[in-house]
Amino acid sequence: MRSVGIIAMISLAGTFAQAQIVTNVIDSFTTAQTLSVVSGYGTSTIAAAGAIGGYRTFTLNVANTDEEPVTLISSTNSRRLNLNSPTGATADFTVTWGGLGGTNGLGGVDLLGGNPTASQSSLKFNLRSTDWPSTFTWSFTDTLSQTATYSGTFPQHAATSPQVAYDIALTSFTGSINWKSINFITLSGGGVAELDLSLSALNVPLSIQTTAMAPVPEPGTWAAAALLAGVAGFIHWRRRRVDA
């Protein structure tokens, strides 16, 4: 009988120590969107299912000596974000995720899945292909307008190769923000002539993944478990005396 109480305590402790993966999807690109700009500045905001906050904004700033437009596309069939730049064109792009209208913000989204700190969380996405190396920047802004950023590089990478997987720890971002109250998320890049770029969300959506530990039980919970074990031990002791 005492062993039953001990097993109950071990089981309780195991339950509360178990880790779980919490995924907050930023965008799975299940809603199509296209922005085409020949030269100059252009913007497009749509209601996007599968995007955090429900709205996605594209912007392009294009310098172009060609008559063919630069396009930024969310493709639903292939679940990709594609930048396509013709000969003679250089474009800077930004993708912003926000609330209603794409400008009101997310209203304080918790990206840490209940985790108290960002130390167990990372940003995940895949590069499918790019014809030239280029830089990119992710920015997260909280409801107090504090911003954390991370800048990296996309290498030249063929579509026939395995995708390049990015797993960026949130602790690698520069800037101190409240990750449990996010208002805007942006991805920007480009700035390279004739750049064609493709990010894939088919298998791994743009997301924040957190390894969240189950909460430690309250002292009363441990006390109840200890009481259960004690009662079981007492009953076992009494039975041994009666049998004797």
Q: What is the pLDDT of residues 129-156, one digit of tens each?
A: 999 999 999 999 999 999 999 999 999 9
The whole-number average pLDDT for the span 87-101 is 94
Who contacts 153 (Cβ-Cβ below 8 Å, separation ≥6)?
133, 134, 135, 136
Neighbours of 26 (CB within 10 A): 26
* One domain, residues 64 and 149: yes
Distance CA 236, CA 240 (A): 6
- List pLDDT tens digits, range 47-73: 999 999 999 999 999 999 988 999 999
Range of the domain at 156: 19-212
Identify the pLDDT of residue 203. 87
Q: Are residues 155 and 233 in the same domain?
A: no
Total domains, the chain: 2
Region 103-127 average pLDDT? 93
Asked if 130 and 173 count as a contact pair (C-beta separation under 8 A), the reply is no
Largest CA distance in the chain: 101
In percent, the amount of the chain with pLDDT more than 70 equals 80
Q: pLDDT, tens digit, for every residue of 177-236?
A: 999 999 999 999 999 999 999 999 998 899 999 987 655 455 554 344 444 445 455 454
Indicate if 157 and 55 belong to the same structural domain: yes
Looking at the structure, do residues 90 and 130 belong to the same domain, yes or no? yes
User: Are residues 236 and 175 both part of a single domain?
Assistant: no
More confident call, 84 vs 232: 84
Do 224 and 134 lie in one domain? The reply is: no
Same domain, 162 and 122: yes
What are the Cα distances from residue 110, in Å, to 13, 23, 180?
A: 27, 11, 4
Task: Tell me what pLDDT residue 187 has.
Answer: 98
226 and 177 belong to one structural domain: no
Query: Please, what is the average pLDDT of the chain?
Result: 86
CATH number of the domain encompassing residue 41: 2.60.120
How many angstroms separate the CA atoms of 178 and 115, rounded?
12
- State whether 130 and 64 are in the same domain: yes
pLDDT confidence of residue 222: 39
CB 207 within 8 A of CB 23: yes
- Asked if residue 97 and residue 132 are part of one domain, the reply reads yes
